Structure 1
């Protein structure tokens, strides 16, 4: 009797296991997309019908649930989308960052190779993420990095408030880079207006006209200026420079808390003027990241101090650009004459460190 019971249990288990295999073998693996067979795709509407990269676009119609690719006509750029969100009546995708600007066809193709196209305008305004330099003289070549720069037709150094727009010369252009030659200008500083097939845009970055600035150091010491460093003096170097042909090098000795100084003891020292808005320049870092402290003899704290408002963080072995608004830092007290400008360091503690300084200027 027990033997028969055990046999029945074993037989039932075998049947259950077999049924499980049968059910498993009948279940189709999917990628999570709706199980919609490819149909005859028809587009009724695309919304919006123009947008910039990253924008979400919705296509409505019928037969859209089995789409496998979305491709922008110009340069055959594919758009990413989530097939799991498709329905027979709607498909969503984002405009790819590589899409070229202008009106073009967008082609949607399903798994059966059936395709439908719809017109769409890519708004590909030129964008600027960085520039090789933010200071220039007439004829300076600047390399701009960003996007949608390959169809740029015009660039100008401009100030919309003053109504001045000085055209720059386009030297070369590609999708991600644009090289321009800067013009002569009466502007102290301004932005760039960049025009391409989508339209005109303005950079958020501001550029400084070296020829209009008060130069403390630019290839050489400015009028009346000389080395006024503590410890080892500043040395004009043609080995390293950000602009022109030279910078000034300063070796800060280990543990000595040195300072590089630019001193003007002559009658050409500049009296306080509220017209000056910024101090700007470039510093090439040493072997590690350090902080330098801008200091002047015309400040409230006096020359040689460590005011956190005046701190400049300098990356190792890299040219770091700084542009400090004078009203935000302790730099120049009303009524005082500016005779000394310096950069002081805490340390260095491990070893001697050499920094390079270029285009140190006051800008209106």
Structure 2
């Protein structure tokens, strides 16, 4: 009995010792570098964009507790376990403001050092409110680093857009009142540098109109089944679109027909066909078709298929050389959009800014 008691006491002593040892050795993972008088000798690289890993070297850098970028006091995240007396690794925060600024490193005793750093915050554009414009029209660009934009021009020209308003994530511009371009990307300059957008905008004033706010010259409705109807309630640009109800199971199409002498003769200068389609109650595919194609009017060529999402405006833009649209030597007198179905019910789509672009 005494033996058991003695064994129990011995075990408790050993266990207590282990716990005490564990407590003494357990830290938060920081290297055992005491806070000093921080001195910076180099920062590499000395300019970078958000998300980039940067290394500060020097002396007395132990126990750094905060890193703050000067403009708008943006803090940077870092792992204390990577902090030593001679080096500190951190990441430039994604939300940092662009331009040359001080980055301040402060340790647990409040001592700090600041170094100059150039944040590369090039403008980015993820979305545009419209791919088409007329003179003086406003376009909204959504992206990042747009609050310090200084100029917007049509690529390859001196034609400048007017900056209406600017925020970090949004830029509103007014397109030039006079420009000779048929289509162009945008050159956007901010405090870091130049962005050339991947989005290309079309000048509707220079495009050949099949339908914009009304039928183009010589065009009229030539639809199968229910005729197209002008709508002033639904439109993507301007004041009107044309709606078409596709009857259940009839595989009909909307047609823009030009039976006059002004039907368009083939020209290799035309490069694209583009437009907007507002979807119906479910996702569908429409097939672009013309009477100047090799297959003839009313076909279902997979190259000409447009996937139309339900309930929203969908933009399409085809390079004519990539689809069956216009055979050399033929006149273009009918342009249509055909559906396979619909199977469940009648469906209505709206069409706007159907144009040919040089």
TM-score normalized by the length of structure 1: 0.93
Structure 1: 4+ residue segments shifted above 4 A: none
Matching residue of 1:339: 333
Alpha-carbon separation, structure 2, partners of 1:15 and 1:91: 42
> How far is 1:16 from its partner?
3.0
Q: Select which of 113, 117, 123 maps to 1:116.
A: 113
Alpha-carbon separation, structure 2, partners of 1:82 and 1:351: 59
Matching residue of 1:304: 298
Matching residue of 1:133: 130
Matching residue of 1:228: 222
Matching residue of 1:243: 237
The gaps in structure 1 that reach 5 residues or longer are none
Matching residue of 1:16: 14
Matching residue of 1:79: 76
Q: Select which of 176, 188, 194 maps to 1:194.
A: 188
2:50 match: secondary structure: coil
Alpha-carbon separation, structure 2, partners of 1:176 and 1:288: 31
Change (3 A) 1:89 1:340: same
How big is each residue's C-alpha offset from its partner over 1:262-312, in whole Å with a ceiling of 9 and x where there is no partner?
111111111111111111111111222222211111112222222111111
In the TM superposition, 1:276-287 aligns within 5 A as: 276-287=270-281
1:180 aligns with 2:173: yes
The gaps in structure 2 that reach 5 residues or longer are none
> How far is 1:156 from its partner?
1.4
Q: Select which of 196, 203, 210 maps to 1:209.
A: 203
Alpha-carbon separation, structure 1, partners of 2:201 and 2:38: 51
2:321 match: secondary structure: helix
In the TM superposition, 1:242-281 aligns within 5 A as: 242-281=236-275
Alpha-carbon separation, structure 2, partners of 1:12 and 1:39: 44
> How far is 1:27 from its partner?
4.0
TM-score normalized by the length of structure 2: 0.94
> How far is 1:344 from its partner?
1.6
How big is each residue's C-alpha offset from its partner over 1:317-349, in whole Å with a ceiling of 9 and x where there is no partner?
211111111111111111111111111222222
> How far is 1:208 from its partner?
0.5
1:156 aligns with 2:149: no
In the TM superposition, 1:90-109 aligns within 5 A as: 90-109=87-106
CA RMSD across the alignment:
1.8
1:212 match: secondary structure: coil
> How far is 1:37 from its partner?
2.2
> How far is 1:359 from its partner?
0.5
Q: Give the aligned length.
A: 357
Change (3 A) 1:81 1:351: farther
Change (3 A) 1:21 1:200: closer
2:158 match: secondary structure: strand
1:26 aligns with 2:31: no
> How far is 1:105 from its partner?
0.5
